[in-house]
Structure 1
Amino acid sequence: MSTNPLISVRQVAKEYDGAIVLERLTLDVVAGTFCTIVGASGCGKSTFLRMLLSQERPDRGVIELDGRPLPSEPTSERGIVFQKYSVFPHLTVEGNLLLAHEFAGAPATGRFFGSARRRARDEIGGIIDDIGLSESRSKYPAQLSGGMQQRLAIAQALLKRPKVLLLDEPFGALDPGIRADMHVLLLDLWKKTGMTVFMVTHDIQEAFKLGTRMLVFDKLRHDSQAPQAFGATITYDLELNGQEPPETGVPMAADNTERQGDIAHA
């Protein structure tokens, strides 16, 4: 794994209507890292993901991708999956993926024809196999379980082979059994592709289980007279030993059990 950062964040701050949400965010993340992000509700975790996607812009500071400032708009280098399934209900599994592929490859018409359409179907066939939806390619989202719908949403995000995958509590609505299956799927895809992952979760056990690095967002400063005067920042930045990063196969060094207790009681 390269030691040069893929993502660099320098003194980033964000506020809404005079309320400071995030402040003094600074970190470097190398390619292939699986970053899990935890913290109290409202502390800016999802805002941070939206800034990484370019849906939001920092009010101060800079975020760089591969040594260059982030583009001002979302690009194919960054894919995102939300907790709410972002799929088209009137299209089949294959239709959902084909439409997303067509919009990216033929923005003027939104459609592929002839040999281009056949090539597109071949390409999405591989993703359908990887994501475990081969038996459901002709089904509509309403015919799929919650886990299967989330698999489809992840497949959409992976279509353009992004360098960075952003996940905003993607498994929060799933029951424990399906959630465990999704953990296995996500880790398999991460190791296979070598992509860099940022995943927001409210479940600290999930954060320790999946990540090679965990970021804890919280406020360092509080003012009871002016609760909006200070924002959250990264209060813990921990390397974890739960997974083996792509390419190196070397576990990250840390004692997760002790650190999980430390975070839970912080």
Structure 2
Amino acid sequence: MSGIVVEKVWKEYGDQIVLEDISIEIEDRAFVALVGPSGCGKTTFLRMLLGQEQATRGTILLGGVPLPKEPGPDRGVVFQRYSVFPHLTVLGNVLIGKEMTAAGFSARLFGQARRAAVEEAKALIAEVGLSHALDKYPAQLSGGMQQRLALAQALIMKPKVLLLDEPFGALDPGIRAEIHTLMKRLWHENPMTVVMVTHDMREAFTLATRVIAFERLRDRPEEKLRYGATISRDIPIWPPRRAGEPSLIRPDRDGPVQKGQ
């Protein structure tokens, strides 16, 4: 299970309160978009879900158990700046997670284990539309192709939760629309919960099942240190979107892709 429960979480840096009394339940296989003004703690919250930051107070549960205090393969992440290795090919970038996890310090797979990992990586690369670029390096790819590669790199580990930190903000509008379609398909086809930070409200309402707004309700200069951001809005999308199920009204746009489409 990949549901997330956040209970009375605070995040403080010294005397500065960044997040204040955050409580939220994110159901299994939801696609949640976090929105709000810059500096209101959205990325800090995402980093806590990843394990890069620890809550000052409160608890975060993943699948009913406390979230590990460091990043792990159960949580994948894609950033706005392409988080791929420039010295590795497309295939090498997707394989590296499997190699590091399965092979330990040697970071190499051999024999049948490597053949199986290569076939799995190639299948995922085909799924994101990069089969023609297996042997290319990131510098030879467009921005949209690099972001497709970053998605494949995260998904190869079969994470329970996929975290997206403004991953499509640097893309041209046409490329972004293509990536949105791909992202919907990957969410429908893979058993994972998605949490995405975005400043683009249209993107949030296009992709998400819920849109959650973070906001500093007390934001005067003398209040910024004493009060943090909290959840000011929690908006469910209508008609509802559910992973693996067609939309009630727009199955061609919001439902899983059928064979032949």
- TM-score if structure 2 supplies the norm length? 0.91
Q: Deviations over 1:154-198 (max 9, x none)?
A: 111101111110000000111101000000000000001131100
1:77 aligns with 2:62: no
Contact 1:35–1:215 (Cα < 8 Å) also in 2: yes
Q: Which runs of 5+ in 1 are unaligned?
A: 253-266
Does residue 96 of structure 2 align to residue 99 of structure 1? yes
Does residue 241 (structure 1) correspond to residue 238 (structure 2)? The answer is yes
3-state DSSP class of the match of 2:3?
Answer: strand
Which residue number in structure 2 is paired with residue 57 of structure 1? 54
Instruction: Find out whether 1:9 has 2:6 as its counterpart.
Output: yes
Q: Which one of 97, 122, 126 corresponds to residue 125 of structure 1? A: 122
The one-letter code sitting in structure 2 at the alignment partner of 1:156 is: Q
Task: Find the residue that maps to 1:126 and give its secondary structure.
Answer: helix
- Aligned with 1:108 (options 101, 105, 109): 105
Q: Matches of residues 1-266 of structure 1 in structure 2 within 5 Å? A: 6-241=3-238, 244-249=241-246
1-structure distance, mates of 2:38, 2:233 = 16
Shift of 1:212: 0.6
Give, in whole Å, the separation in 2 of the partners of 1:77 and 1:142.
29
- Write the letter of the residue equivalent to 2:195: F
> RMSD of the TM alignment (CA)?
1.7
The alpha-carbon deviation at position 56 of structure 1 amounts to 0.4
The farther-off stretch of 38-47 and 65-74 is 65-74
* Structure 2 residue identity aligned to 1:127: L
Matched-pair identity in %: 53
- Secondary structure of 2:114's match? helix
1: CA distance, partners of 2:223 / 2:237: 36
Instruction: Verify the 8 A CA contact 1:208 1:242 in the aligned structure 2.
Output: no
Whole-angstrom CA distance in 2 between matches of 1:243 and 1:140: 40
CA deviations over 1:15-71 (Å, ceiling 9, x no partner): 113111101100111111110010000000000000001110000100001111101
Contact 1:77 1:164 in 2 (8 A): yes
Distance 1:10 1:52, change over 3 A: same
The 3 A distance-change label for structure 1 pair 5 and 125 is: closer
Shift, 1:118, TM fit: 1.1
Query: For residue 75 of structure 1, what is the amino acid of its counterpart?
Result: G
CA distance in 1, matches of 2:96, 2:240: 34
How far is the alpha carbon of 1:222 from its aligned partner?
Answer: 3.7
CA distance in 1, matches of 2:245, 2:132: 34
Question: Following the alignment from structure 2 to structure 1, what is the Cα–Cα distance between the partners of residues 81 and 65?
Answer: 31
Give the letter for the 1:74 counterpart. P
Counterpart secondary structure, 1:147: helix
The number of equivalent residue pairs is 249
Deviation at 1:227, TM superposition (A): 2.1
The Cα of 1:241 is off from its aligned counterpart by 2.5
Long gaps (5+) in structure 2: 250-261
**Cα contact 1:21–1:44 (8 A) shared by 2:** yes
Q: 1:66 to 1:137 in 2, by over 3 A?
A: same
